[in-house]
């Protein structure tokens, strides 16, 4: 069943992390950040979007009895 990595972690492997960090350096996104970096913020927002997408699509997949 679970081989040790979540589906979310496997999806995030396809993201170009290097390019994201270049953008953060170009526009000082992590300026005065102590613990919650831009990358952490992006991951939390991506998780929320994927969760909403799954919930929305699962509602359409369940047949409704009338």
Domain spans in the chain, listed from the N-terminal domain onward: 7-61
The answer to whether 16 touches 22, Cβ cutoff 8 Å, is no
The answer to whether 42 touches 19, Cβ cutoff 8 Å, is no
Tell me: pLDDT of 66 over 60: no
Query: How many secondary structure helices (H) and strands (E) does the chain include?
Result: 3, 0
User: pTM of the full predicted structure?
Assistant: 0.77
If you write DSSP's letter for every residue of 1-41 in order, what string do you get?
---SS-HHHHHHTTS-HHHHHHHHHHTTTTTT-SSS-HHHH
Q: How far apart are CA 58 and CA 62, in angstroms?
A: 6
| pLDDT of res. 53 | 84
Q: Give the model confidence (pLDDT) of 3-51 as tens digits.
A: 788 889 999 999 999 999 999 999 999 999 999 999 999 999 999 999 9
Tell me: pLDDT of 59 over 80: no
């Amino acid at each position: 069943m679970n081989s040790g990595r979540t589906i979310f972690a496997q999806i995030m492997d396809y993201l170009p992390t290097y390019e994201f960090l270049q953008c953060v350096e170009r526009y000082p996104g992590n300026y005065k950040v102590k613990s919650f970096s831009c990358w952490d913020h992006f991951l939390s927002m991506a998780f929320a979007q994927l969760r909403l997408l799954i919930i929305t699509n699962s509602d359409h997949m369940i047949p409704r009895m009338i």
